[in-house]
Structure 1
Amino acid sequence: MTKIRIAIQKSGRLNQDSLQMLKDCGVSIDNGKDQLKASSRNFPMEVFYLRNGDIPQYLKDGVVDIAIIGENVLIEKGGDITIAEKLGFSKCKVSLAVPKSTAYNSVKDFEGKRIATSYPNTVQKYLSEKGVTADLHIINGSVEIAPNIGLADAICDIVSSGSTLFKNNLEEVEVMLKSEAVLAVSPKITQERKDLLQKLQFRIQSVLRARQSKYVLLNAPNTNLDEILTLLPGMRSPTVLPLAEEGWSSVHTVINKDKFWEVIDELKQAGAEGILVCPIEKMVL
């Protein structure tokens, strides 16, 4: 039986979020402690637990068919690897930072400077596009200490909350790219495994839509119903059902979570009552 081979990060937050995504897609993984490979009991899939930086090469070589990986790593090492889906978690930035004591005006200030980074290709491309030449020091691991020990004038690294930069007295000055977890596809994937990828991607899209939405139920006076319905989006249109109390209706719909509170405030002003909000597990279109 053909199985699709997926790589995920061996440890860390991306590992946990990737396993949760597979779980939400109904894929159960039989995974013992410290296993480097595991199988799903209910989907034709093998899971490879790999170092994040090694995953692009495994994709290029066709050792794995797909991977959940940070977009930043793919940009640095992935070359022509295709992104099938952006997954919306593990968001971060790849940024240039300098000591807080450094006077900074523009990217031109990096001309001739020493920059410590684990992302030399990304930095080189960015600076070249800006017409800037710098001396790159490639460091695998924590680069934040480099300016403090005199190894570099600046750094390029992943920035999530910014707390690590703050602790090392550094300031973010240039955001080179924004990144999130993505589903990447090997250029050597077979057609048979592409069919399995389509099935998995359908499930992933259903999960992602659900994560972005809330199911809303409310009671509306019929006299205000038309106004309330104009405020409500829906997958096709809101569902309206009569209540036992004459003159009132129950309205059901789906609201994007980013617009949720704005819509709720407008509904209350329009006379909606008894507003209930429920999470959505899956949303299949």
Structure 2
Amino acid sequence: MSLLKLGIPKGSLEKATIELFAKSGWQIKLMSRNYFPEIDDDELSCSICRPQEMSRYVESGMLDAGITGKDWTLENDSDVEVVANLVYSKVSKKPTRWVIAVPGNSDITSVEQLDGKRISTELVNVTRRFFDQQGLNVDISFSWGATEAKAVSGLADAIVEVTETESTIRAHGLRVIHELMESNVQLIANKSALADPWKRDKIDSMVMLLQGALNADRIVGLKMNVAADKLDTVISLLPSLNAPTIAQLYKQEWFSVETVISEHQVRDLVPQLKKSGAEGIIEYTLNKVI
């Protein structure tokens, strides 16, 4: 039997990834102190590994596909194919950003002023390529963590660090002087695996269901009954991905109306629908929108 080897990211993306797969139709069960979780699909095997290393394992063929950040694929300069960009609802709707930051009391206000300075970061290779492109000579050292503290304590003149809101950077008394790059979650695949028709089809099916689950985030279905003489008024109130579905009730001058809307619209819309004659209004969650 054919088998697709899939990498699940350890750390901040782990829980969100497992929840996304559950919504897409796969139950992944973590085993205590085990890096090989169970999955209810005989055609899949899972491995837990750090996002920083994922693209290396995928490129080497140890994994056929895996979920990681764009930043780490670039950092490793891995020869893999990006199959899908995934906007994680449980993490952030915004891409993460890698920024250059300096102490708040530093005289440095531009990238050019970092020539000859010390930079601390976990994203060493991307940072080095950036400064090489700028024609600047900087001393880059790898940071094992607590990168903000390197600048605060004077061990570095600047840091390159990942952020979403900059709140942690500001809390350490640092200020951003440049945005290096944006990153997002990606499903990457080994090129040889994609050349295999069975594996390609399995990956494509997975992508369709994962994207469908992400598309359904914060979207709900509404269903209601409406008398014929009030139908036009109710329909005029309804936003929809396309157009609402309308079906006449059996031997009645009533219609069943169904639509899909954004979750935040419900609280204002339902009272309006009720006042306009809609009855039996039902709101239901969606697992996937494909």
Would you say same fold, with TM above 0.5? yes
What does 1:84-99 correspond to in 2, within 5 Å? 84-89=83-88, 90-91=91-92, 92-99=96-103
Q: Secondary structure of 1:202's partner?
A: helix
Q: Secondary structure of 2:192's partner?
A: coil
Correspondence 1:56 to 2:55: yes
Distance in 1 (CA, whole Å) between partners of 2:132 and 2:175 is 22
Equivalent residue in structure 2 for 1:176, among 171, 174, 180: 180
Partner of 1:254: 260
| TM-score of the two chains, using structure 2 as the length reference | 0.81
Partner of 1:106: 110
Distance in 2 (CA, whole Å) between partners of 1:140 and 1:165 is 17
Equivalent residue in structure 1 for 2:192, among 188, 192, 207: 188
1:201 shift after superposition: 1.6
Partner of 1:238: 244
Distance in 2 (CA, whole Å) between partners of 1:130 and 1:263 is 51
- Could you list the runs of 5+ residues in structure 2 that have no partner in the other structure? none
Letter of the structure 2 residue corresponding to residue 224 of structure 1: T
1:247 shift after superposition: 9.1
Partner of 2:25: 26
- Asked if 2 retains the 8 angstrom alpha-carbon contact of 1:60 and 1:81, the reply is yes
Partner of 1:210: 216
- Asked if 1 retains the 8 angstrom alpha-carbon contact of 2:52 and 2:72, the reply is yes
- Asked if 1 retains the 8 angstrom alpha-carbon contact of 2:52 and 2:68, the reply is no
Distance in 2 (CA, whole Å) between partners of 1:262 and 1:24 is 22
In the TM superposition, what whole-angstrom CA distance separates every residue of 1:195-236 from its partner, at most 9, and x where no partner exists? 22122122212212212533234677345356435xx232x4
Letter of the structure 1 residue corresponding to residue 240 of structure 2: P
Q: Secondary structure of 1:253's partner?
A: strand
Letter of the structure 1 residue corresponding to residue 174 of structure 2: L
- Asked if 1 retains the 8 angstrom alpha-carbon contact of 2:27 and 2:40, the reply is yes
Letter of the structure 1 residue corresponding to residue 215 of structure 2: R
In the TM superposition, what whole-angstrom CA distance separates every residue of 1:78-124 from its partner, at most 9, and x where no partner exists? 43321111121245211111111124543323333221111122222
What does 1:219-234 correspond to in 2, within 5 Å? 221-222=230-231, 224-225=233-234, 227-228=236-237, 232-234=239-241
Inter-CA distance 78–261: structure 2 relative to 1 (3 Å threshold): farther
- Could you list the runs of 5+ residues in structure 1 that have no partner in the other structure? none
Distance in 2 (CA, whole Å) between partners of 1:107 and 1:218 is 59
Partner of 2:68: 69
- Asked if 1 retains the 8 angstrom alpha-carbon contact of 2:81 and 2:188, the reply is yes
The Cα RMSD (Å) is 3.2
Letter of the structure 2 residue corresponding to residue 233 of structure 1: S
Distance in 2 (CA, whole Å) between partners of 1:132 and 1:256 is 48
- Asked if 2 retains the 8 angstrom alpha-carbon contact of 1:27 and 1:43, the reply is no
Partner of 1:135: 139
Q: Secondary structure of 2:31's partner?
A: coil
Q: Secondary structure of 2:207's partner?
A: helix
Q: Secondary structure of 1:237's partner?
A: coil
Q: Secondary structure of 2:214's partner?
A: helix
Q: Secondary structure of 1:178's partner?
A: strand
Q: Percent identity?
A: 21
Q: How many residues matched?
A: 277
